[in-house]
Amino acid sequence: MTAGNRAEIVDSHCHLDFPELISDLPGVIARAQAAGVTRMVTICTRLRQEPQVRAIAEAHAAVFYAAGTHPMSAAEEPMATVEALVALAAHPKFVGIGETGLDYHYTAESASVQQESLRIHIEAARQTGLPLIIHARAADEDMARILTEEHRAGAYDCVMHCFSSGAELAQAALDLGFYLSMSGITAFPRSHELRAIFAAAPPDRILLETDAPYLAPPPHRGKRNEPAFTAFTARAGAEVFNMDYDSFARLTSTNFDRLFRKATLGAPAHPLAGQ
């Protein structure tokens, strides 16, 4: 799939520092742009790796970044601090807090640590005004409870990244004014229930992402994912909302701009980029 005259789209969540992508980064970015993906947010999942992720964003005008402690790593990484996250947010290409959240599928034994880490990231989102990026798996009840409790204590913005949870958590997030992000899972043939959840959501709360190098949409399912494949998820999303591709692409890009206000193409690349 190539961009042609199609509207530009955004990959709001990928991992360009992961080995599967960093080894071919110029090609990954070139293919993304050829597919109409003009901006990408690469996510740091362990704060000690933030310098490497930041360097990718500094070197490429189309790339922005966010950082946090992934819930599956919360028990083995040093606990994040609000002060450290707020300090990172001073960088002009740092556009979000996380990913953070709760994952009880593989790491339920660290639930209390994950919850502590999540609340720290929420406070950093409050203080910086940057959107919180949430990973949620097999923890819908606790996730809805904590997000709601914390929002009552002080508002913040949020996207439910790679949303694949239940309708109740989707509604709880939407009721708080949050956004739901479509990944390649939305395009899987058996994802009927997930597509129904998205179809019931307001279209102005939908983002697109790949979560690359994971979760490639058809026709690349089971292979390495990359930001260019956002276009296939956009096509599936357009069908969910009964919209043409260009209209849905423009809508999701507008939604992204509203939430990720710092992520404009006018943000400076690193002065040594390309040297």
Q: What is the pLDDT of residue 100?
A: 98
Cβ contact 96:131 at 8 Å? yes
Per-residue pLDDT band at 3 (split at 50, 70, 90) = very low
Residue-level pLDDT at 1 = 40
DSSP letter for each residue of the chain: ---TTPPPEEEEEE-TTSHHHHTTHHHHHHHHHHTTEEEEEEEESSGGGHHHHHHHHHH-TTEEEEE---GGGTTTSPPP-HHHHHHHTTSTTEEEEEEEEEEHHHHGGGHHHHHHHHHHHHHHHHHH-PPEEEEEES-HHHHHHHHHHHHHHS---EEETT--S-HHHHHHHHHTT-EEEE-GGGGSTT-HHHHHHHHTS-GGGEEE---TTS-PPTTSTTS---GGGHHHHHHHHHHHTT--HHHHHHHHHHHHHHH-TT--TTSPPPTTTT-
Q: What is the pLDDT of residues 63-112, one digit of tens each?
A: 999 999 999 999 999 999 999 999 999 999 999 999 999 999 999 999 99
Rg of the chain over CA atoms, in angstroms?
17
Structural domains of the chain ordered from first start: 9-259 (3.20.20.140)
Q: Whole-model pTM? A: 0.94
Q: Which residue has the higher pLDDT, 129 or 275?
A: 129
Whether residue 189 is preceded by a cis peptide bond, meaning omega within 30 degrees of 0, is: no
What pLDDT score was predicted for residue 259?
98
Average pLDDT over the chain, rounded to whole?
94
Tens digit of each residue's pLDDT (9 = 90 or more) over 121-148? 999 999 999 999 999 999 999 999 999 9
Q: Cα separation of 258 and 95, whole Å?
A: 12
Is residue 269 pLDDT above 80, yes or no? Answer: no
Q: Report pLDDT for 264.
A: 81
